[in-house]
Amino acid sequence: MTGPILRRRDDGATELRVNGVFVMDDRQTASERALARAVVERGARDVLVGGLGLGFTLRELLTAPVRRVVVVERHREIVDWMRDGTIAGADLLTDPRVEVVLDDVRAAVVEQPAGSLDAIVLDIDNGPDFLVHDDNAAVYGPSFVGVCAERLRPGGHLCVWSMAPSDTVVASLRASFERVEQTSVPVRLQDRAEHYWILTGSHPRR
Ligand SMILES: C[S@@+](CC[C@H](N)C(=O)[O-])C[C@H]1O[C@@H](n2cnc3c(N)ncnc32)[C@H](O)[C@@H]1O
């Protein structure tokens, strides 16, 4: 695997690539921001986010009255670029509500105490059918989704970003959550109108 690189495009956009594959840019960020809103609109205060990327999900979370955000990123370079200003967002990482964990999100979630989070937000890859990192397949499977479910409080939510609707993710969520929703977010990709997807599993409030 080759590490992350940043590309400055001729149109002025910044593009993040990993393993030679386009991950995201800083122009089409509606779905990354919608992911954050999906949990703050449900009242989440203590949130874990995997991964950092260009920071749009994290920035949107921090505009809300969240108490604590654990942001988990596997590539140190991305955090370093944000800290030194290569990527905009150094202010996000010095926000007192933010804790940065450099690790695989699977290991970082296991470290969280049971029932300690209101929401877990996963935007670590393009979805189970379009992986940039092959080992991220496990993130979408029932075993890891079950680990996430145990770290959430009653009324807690797991939100997963995906490039396309996913029966795999829906089945994993159904195994551990009472309510499962699949929501589309309209995005404009070059000249095309497309949709990205947010899949949410929710515990009952009790
Ligand atoms: C699509 S980007 C996240 C975009 C982010 N939501 C935003 O608003 O900019 C995916 C990020 O997850 C990171 N990542 C990939 N696999 C990971 C894993 N298993 N654990 C933690 N971070 C991971 C990537 O390095 C990348 O920074």
The full set of domain ranges for the chain reads 28-202
12 Cα–ligand 1 center, Å: 22
What atom in ligand 1 is closest to the CA of residue 124?
12
Residue 73's contacts (CB-CB under 8 Å, 6 or more residues apart) are: 50, 51, 52, 79, 100, 101, 102
pLDDT score, position 2? 80
Environment class of 201 (CB within 10 Å of its CB; exposed 0-12, middle 13-18, buried 19+):
buried
Query: Does the C-beta of 153 come closer than 6 Å to ligand 1?
Result: no
40 lines ligand 1 (CB under 6 A): no
pLDDT tens profile 46-70: 999 999 999 999 999 999 999 999 9
Minimum CA distance residue for ligand 1 atom 8: 56
Question: Rounded distance, CA 170 to CA 179, Å?
Answer: 10
Q: Residue of the nearest CA to atom 5 in ligand 1?
A: 53
Taking the centre of ligand 1 as the mean of its atom positions, its distance from the CA of residue 74, in whole angstroms, is 7
What are 2's two structure tokens?
Answer: 């080759």
| Distance in angstroms (rounded) separating the CA atoms of residues 134 and 137 | 6
pTM of the model: 0.97
CA of 206 to the centre of ligand 1 (A): 32
CATH number of 28-202: 3.40.50.150
User: For residues 107 and 142, is the Cβ–Cβ distance under 8 A?
Assistant: no
* Residue 172: pLDDT over 90: yes
Going by CA atoms, what residue is nearest to atom 27 of ligand 1? 53
What is the pLDDT confidence band of residue 182, given thresholds at 50, 70 and 90? very high
Centre of ligand 1 to C-alpha 125, Å, is 6
- Check whether 11 has a pLDDT greater than 80: yes
Ligand 1 pocket residue status of 185, Cβ below 6 Å: no
pLDDT band at 206 (very low <50, low <70, confident <90, very high): confident
CA distance 163 to 146: 22
Could you give the 3-state DSSP secondary structure of residue 181?
Answer: strand
Q: Return the exposure string of 34-46: e unless at least 16 CB atoms fall within 10 Å of the residue's CB, then b.
A: bbbbbbbeeebbb
